[in-house]
Structure 1
Amino acid sequence: MTATKHSNTSSFDQPLLSESPHPPPQQYVIVLPPYPHPHRHRLLRKSCRRSLYCAATALLFLIAAGYLFWPSDPEISVVRLRLDRLHIHTRPKISLDITLDLTIRVRNIDFYSIDYDSLLVSIGYRGKNLGFVTSGGGHIKARASSYVNATLQLDGQEVLSDVILLLEDLAKGAITFDTVSGINGTLGVVFFDLPLKTKISCEVIVNTRNQTISRQSCYPEVSEVS
Structure 2
Amino acid sequence: MAKAGAAGADDPTQAPLLLPQPPPSYGVPVGGGYYQEPPVQPYLLIPVLSRRRRSRGCRPACCESLVSSSSLLALLSAAVILGSAAFFLWPSDPDVRLSRLGLRRIHISTDKHGGVSLDFDMDLKVRVRNPDFFSLDYDEIRVAIGYRGRRLGTVTADGGHVRARGISFVDARLRLDGIRVLQDAFYLIEDLSRGKIPFDTMTVVEGQLHLFGIDIPLEGRISCSVDVDAATQTIASQTCYPE
Q: TM-score range by the shorter chain?
A: 0.5 to 0.7
Distance 1:163 1:83, change over 3 A: farther
Give TM-score scaled by structure 2 length.
0.62
State the SS of the aligned residue for 2:76: helix
The residue that corresponds to 1:224 in the other structure is: none
Q: What SS does structure 2 have at the residue aligned with 1:66?
A: helix
**1:112 aligned to which of 126, 134, 140:** 134
| Conserved 8 A contact 2:199-2:227 | no
C-alpha distance in structure 1 between counterparts of 2:241 and 2:220, whole Å: 14
1:73 is aligned, of 84, 93, 104, to 93
Is structure 2 residue 38 aligned with structure 1 residue 38? no
TM score, norm. by length of structure 1 = 0.66
User: Residue 235 of structure 2 aligns with which residue?
Assistant: 211
Q: Distance in 2 between matches of 1:140 and 1:103?
A: 16
Equivalent position SS for 1:208: strand
Cα distance between partner residues in 2 of 1:104 and 1:141: 16
Tell whether the 8 Å contact from 1:77 to 1:218 is kept in structure 2 after alignment: yes
The 8 Å contact of residues 101 and 149 in structure 1, kept in 2 or not, is answered as yes
How is 1:5-154 mapped onto 2 (pairs within 5 angstroms)? Answer: 37-38=55-56, 40=58, 49-92=69-112, 93-154=115-176
Q: Which amino acid aligns with 2:141?
A: L
Q: Is the 8 A contact 1:81 1:213 kept in 2?
A: no
Question: Rg bigger for which structure?
Answer: 2
Structure 1 portions without partners, runs of 5+: 1-35, 220-226
SS of match in other structure, 1:136: strand
CA distance, structure 2, for counterparts of residue 176 and residue 212 of structure 1? 11
Q: Are 1:177 and 2:200 an aligned pair?
A: yes
Q: Give me the whole-angstrom Cα distance separating, in 1, the residues matched to 2:220 and 2:76.
A: 38
- What is the CA RMSD across the aligned residues, in angstroms? 3.0
Indicate if the aligned counterparts of 1:126 and 1:178 stay in contact, CA closer than 8 A: no
- Per-residue CA deviation, residues 5-32 of structure 1 (Å, 9 max, x unaligned), is xxxxxxxxxxxxxxxxxxxxxxxxxxxx
